[in-house]
Chains A and B, each alone.
Chain A
Amino acid sequence: MHTFSCVSYCIISLILEIKWQGVWFVTGTFDYDLVVIGGGSGGLACSKEGKCLSTKWGIGGTCVNVGCIPKKLMHQAALLGTALKDAQKYGWQVPGPISHDWRTMAEAVQNHIRSLNWGHRVQLQDKKVTYLNMKGRLVDEHTVQGLSKTGKETTLTAKNIVIATGGRPKYPTHVPGAIEHSITSDDIFWLKESPGKTLVVGASYVALECAGFLTGLGLDTTVMVRSVPLRGFDQQMAGLVTDYMEAYGTKFCWKSVPKRVAKLSCGKLQVTWTDRQTGQDQQDSFDSVLWAIGRAPETKTLNLEKVGIKLNKESGKILVGADESTSVPNIYAFGDIGEGRPELTPTAIKAGKLLARRLTGQSSELMNYDNVATTVFTPLEYGCVGLSEEEAESRHGKDSIEVYHAFYKPLEFTVAERDGSHCYIKVVCERGGDQRILGLHFTGPNAGEVTQGFAMGFRCGATMNHLKETVGIHPTCAEELTKVNISKRSGLDPTVTGC
């Protein structure tokens, strides 16, 4: 099958042939056993597992191109800036004022992304996955049509179809000037020049992570929040995250909504917004405006309604069953496109692998979406697994849960004279019986590394006893989780003292 080269084309459909134990499955009636539309984290995993191929963007989807990977690298760039300042307290002779060159960082990050795109491409080819770089749409429940960059149409029939086209950032619909003059997370990682003084609209983790690293790189950054930060996350923890950001130089416009974006003759962007508390309009000028107000699924061009695939009216996402099935029997959907699914790379990858195994008859295991650990990579990182305190209260009742907590100070902060007052641990558990842990929350350095191991504890049904019986590694921040013993209910001071 010919492959079409296409550097700038966005959405591509891919065809895959399932090869199982060296035997090509080609049914009598269909061209292929399985077609996967979409080539991000989910689509790639599904295709490689079931020998199917999927691509999006440069291969790798949101995660590789405009998400996790560049985000974490730029977050690291920002952390290194802070580390350079700390280094002086530790005796390093750092000459002169430290400045950051966006171009150097951007080129290095973008080169790494391209090497990942290539790596994926090689892997797909190596696993004999047929890759078609085209825009895909459904014709009927067994037919997929691909449109190449040159306008050539290809039609394929398949026994099963999997949709893993993910999501894209939303632009506001009622703010004049927004679409023409501003950017989203799709753009920030690919800028060749520094975004300068930036307004980030939104309070999702995308907004806070972007604002966080922009501040850390030395840029004048403002976050505009309509209501609450990190909706859906534990709100006490979200507050600690934003408090730290404010203390470290990120400006916040709370309870504000943008009204208008206008381009000034000098090239800057003038933003007018309404302060919802006072009702007054305010104005300021920025070099860049970044919208991080949510993500919408990629379904418009797929022709889903015609084929009868039911969507959630509000979100536009595909309604899916526990086995990733849609309302049409032989069509499946997973990853960010699925309604109610976490918008995370590892869950998409795992769900894709399990789906492929089920479709090729190798197993019947379903994806377990419970207790998935995540981390928000803001300047003060926040890792969590399980329920927020609010969710635990809502499900079990305040009297049936116990919340243990502690404010701790990372050892490394002491010599560096860093403010550790937002470093905090919270363990939410059942009040009675074995005190099964329902939720675990941690703000501090390397939160992702700290939280990962505790996620396994969740899988094993960890209880407070398990936690107390675990001997900590010293000196670390993670060990504070094994030492937590002050409950909120007791009202005692949760600040950790001593060694």
Chain B
Amino acid sequence: MSHYEEVKVHGYDEFCKAVSERKGKDIFAYFSGNKDDQGMSWCPDCVKAEPIVRGEMSHLPEGSVFIYCQVGERPYWKDPNNEFKKTLKLSGVPTLIRYGTPQKLVEEECFKADLVRMMFTED
């Protein structure tokens, strides 16, 4: 039993629902391009970053929430008006955010284990 809750969601609406159901909690969210049937994402950077991010999850704060969100297929993501870009202001995948704070790591920043650990462990 881990000290945090992992939630897997697909798409913007599921993401918003997961967040609204966990008000008041410390929520971390990792956004990745969709994975195919073989579990491979169309986003090569997401493929590279995921094991690094997962490797630091033991450092997540007690009682926090980790939302793993697949944003959609490549054409959806490339549309500059998709909800993630418009409302959540995401600029790229992978992105790791601490919901409700300005803390975020974008693209290559997610490759750096020490930055991921810093986000999980510092206020």
Interface positions of A (Cβ within 8 A of B): 3, 5-7, 111, 114-115, 117-118, 121-122, 125-126
User: Is the pair A122, B102 in contact by a Cβ cutoff of 8 Å?
Assistant: no
Residue of B nearest to A122 (CB): B115
User: Is the pair A3, B102 in contact by a Cβ cutoff of 8 Å?
Assistant: no
C-alpha spacing A118/B118, complex, angstroms: 11
C-alpha spacing A248/B118, complex, angstroms: 48
Q: Which A residues lie within 8 Å of B91 (CB)?
A: none
User: Is the pair B123, A5 in contact by a Cβ cutoff of 8 Å?
Assistant: yes
Q: List 21 A-B contacts (CB under 8 A).
A: A3-B121, A3-B122, A5-B121, A5-B122, A5-B123, A7-B123, A111-B102, A114-B101, A114-B102, A117-B102, A118-B102, A118-B103, A118-B104, A121-B122, A122-B105, A122-B109, A122-B118, A125-B115, A126-B109, A126-B112, A126-B115
A6-B123, A7-B123, A126-B112 known; A121-B118 Cβ under 8 A: yes
Q: Which B residues lie within 8 Å of A111 (CB)?
A: 102
Interface flag for B114 (CB, 8 Å): yes
Contact with A along B70-91 (1 / 0, CB 8 A): 0000000000000000000000
C-alpha spacing A344/B121, complex, angstroms: 34
C-alpha spacing A121/B118, complex, angstroms: 9
Sample of 4 further A-B pairs with CB below 8 A, known A7-B123, A122-B105, A122-B109: A5-B123, A6-B123, A114-B101, A115-B102
Q: Main SS of the interface on chain A?
A: helix
Residue of A nearest to B104 (CB): A118
Interface size on B, residues (CB 8 A): 13
C-alpha spacing A195/B105, complex, angstroms: 36
CB distance from A5 to the nearest CB of B (A): 4
CB distance from B103 to the nearest CB of A (A): 5
C-alpha spacing A126/B105, complex, angstroms: 12
Give the most central of B101, B109, B112, B122: most A CB within 10 Å: B122
User: Is the pair B118, A3 in contact by a Cβ cutoff of 8 Å?
Assistant: yes
Q: Sorted from nearest, which 10 A-B pairs have the closest CB atoms?
A: A115-B102, A5-B123, A114-B102, A5-B122, A118-B102, A7-B123, A118-B103, A125-B118, A125-B115, A3-B122
Q: Which B residues lie within 8 Å of A117 (CB)?
A: 102
C-alpha spacing A7/B105, complex, angstroms: 20
C-alpha spacing A6/B122, complex, angstroms: 8
CB distance from A16 to the nearest CB of B (A): 16
CB distance from A133 to the nearest CB of B (A): 9
C-alpha spacing A7/B104, complex, angstroms: 17
C-alpha spacing A327/B75, complex, angstroms: 64
C-alpha spacing A493/B56, complex, angstroms: 72
For residues 89 through 117 of chain B, which have their beta carbon under 8 Å from a beta carbon of chain A? 101-105, 109, 112, 114-115
Q: Which A residues lie within 8 Å of B104 (CB)?
A: 118
Q: Which A residues lie within 8 Å of B105 (CB)?
A: 122
Q: Which B residues lie within 8 Å of A7 (CB)?
A: 123
C-alpha spacing A121/B114, complex, angstroms: 12
Q: Which B residues lie within 8 Å of A118 (CB)?
A: 101-104
CB distance from B69 to the nearest CB of A (A): 21
User: Is the pair A125, B114 in contact by a Cβ cutoff of 8 Å?
Assistant: yes
C-alpha spacing A111/B89, complex, angstroms: 14
C-alpha spacing A115/B122, complex, angstroms: 15
C-alpha spacing A199/B102, complex, angstroms: 33
Give the most central of B102, B105, B109, B114: most A CB within 10 Å: B102
CB distance from B43 to the nearest CB of A (A): 21
CB distance from B12 to the nearest CB of A (A): 21
Q: Which B residues lie within 8 Å of A121 (CB)?
A: 118, 122
Give the most central of B112, B115, B118: most A CB within 10 Å: B118
